[in-house]
Amino acid sequence: MTTPVKKASPFARNHLIRDGINQAIYDTMKIDPAVFLCGEGAWVKAKYDAPQILEEFPDRIVTLPIAEDSSVNFAVGMALLGIKPVVNLITADFTFRAADGIINTAAKLNFALPEGEPPRTIVIQAEFLLGGPTTGARPEMLFARIPGLNVVIPSTPNDAYGLMHTALTSPGVTIFLEDRMILDSLTAPEDMAGVGIMAIPFGEASIRRCPGGATLTIVTYGLMRQNVESALDERKIDNVELIDLRTLYPIDWATLFDSAQRTGKLLIIEPDVLYGGIGAEIAATAVDWGLYKISRLGAPRETIPASPAGHARMLPSPEEILAAIRRMEGYGPGLV
């Protein structure tokens, strides 16, 4: 199910992360008959993205009507019967249409079960696109603050596999968000090594770079992890400890605290809107730790432009990332 690394345009969808997700679903289906796929166009998506699942488990793929809130409530009903549904809502914007089912039903399901009932497992899957005002929203922090929900955003194929495996083998309700704009061509060989061999616990960040004597901690996730690494490689910057959150809830506070205490400086770079984003939460917590050399980069709180090119310009650019690093290192404005 894994495809070779290939070059892609800035607006081409990735394949390798999706392969990691579907490989984890397939492997879990082989050992757990309770795992089902459902959602709008579920059969068609399986045909193109996961043909092995369609071939071996056609009776565990359920195509649902175009009604996102109903899809989530259908998945809750499946979970009550002991099924572990992966309900695909297609784009992240459609989670707004399903918000009532997610927040008022799914998130509260395991709190409302009768005493002695085992907790249920539900995965709600959707993807981010650079697609303008109606297909470009990032709702991750909306769900990260809701009790009863885990929020997961992988940035490598291995992480996609490991996090989906955990989502399907652990009790709880998981919002599993996929950044389709992460380029296959920039996926490092080590990101593909051994895909499908291990689960990744929720709340465990990935330390992408940890040089001796690092003087700056950068925290990021999803699409921006790849963009930050490209900027660091371009200027051969080797004094940065780079942390990929992987899960926005639960969050790996221990790793963030340890790194920030060692470097004394914290730069948070996110693909989401700065106002009320994960960066604000991390920055506020870091101040509680007694750290004050903190800066953030992210998207403005504006309506997303209709064109993909305009949408892309809302995200922190390599130049902005490098300028922020320079400011944090005390060199004033400009590029490293």
300: CATH: 3.40.50.920
Q: Is residue 6 part of a domain?
A: no
Q: Is residue 100 part of a domain?
A: yes
One domain, residues 34 and 154: yes
Question: Which residues touch 9 (CB under 8 Å, ≥6 apart)?
Answer: none
Tell me what pLDDT residue 186 has. Answer: 65
In eight-state DSSP terms, residue 70 is: H
Q: Is residue 4 part of a domain?
A: no
Q: Provide the edge-to-edge strand list for the sheet that holds 247-249.
A: 61-64, 35-40, 84-91, 121-128, 172-179, 149-152, 247-249
Question: Which residues touch 329 (CB under 8 Å, ≥6 apart)?
Answer: 215, 216, 239, 265, 336
Question: What is the pairing mode between strands 84-91 and 35-40?
Answer: parallel
pTM: 0.91
In eight-state DSSP terms, residue 243 is: E
One domain, residues 186 and 210: no
Tell me what pLDDT residue 295 has. Answer: 95
Q: Is residue 3 part of a domain?
A: no
Domain assignment of residue 96, given as a range = 16-192
- Going residue by residue through the chain, which has 336 residues, state the pLDDT in tens, using 9 for 90 and above: 433 333 333 344 678 899 999 999 999 999 999 999 999 999 998 988 999 999 999 999 999 999 999 999 999 999 999 999 999 999 999 999 999 999 999 999 999 999 999 999 999 999 998 878 888 889 999 999 999 999 999 999 999 999 999 999 999 999 999 998 888 866 665 665 555 567 899 999 999 988 888 999 999 999 999 889 999 998 899 899 999 999 999 999 999 999 999 999 999 999 999 999 999 999 999 999 999 899 999 999 999 888 888 888 889 999 999 999 999 987 444 333
139, 157, 192: which is the final residue of a domain?
192
The domain total for the chain is 2
C-alpha distances out from residue 94 to 108, 155, 331, Å: 20, 21, 43
Q: Is the dihedral of CA 29, 150, 92, 163 positive or negative?
A: negative
Residue 27 in 3-state DSSP?
helix
Distance, in Å, from the CA atom of 266 to the CA atom of 259, rounded to the nearest integer, reads 9
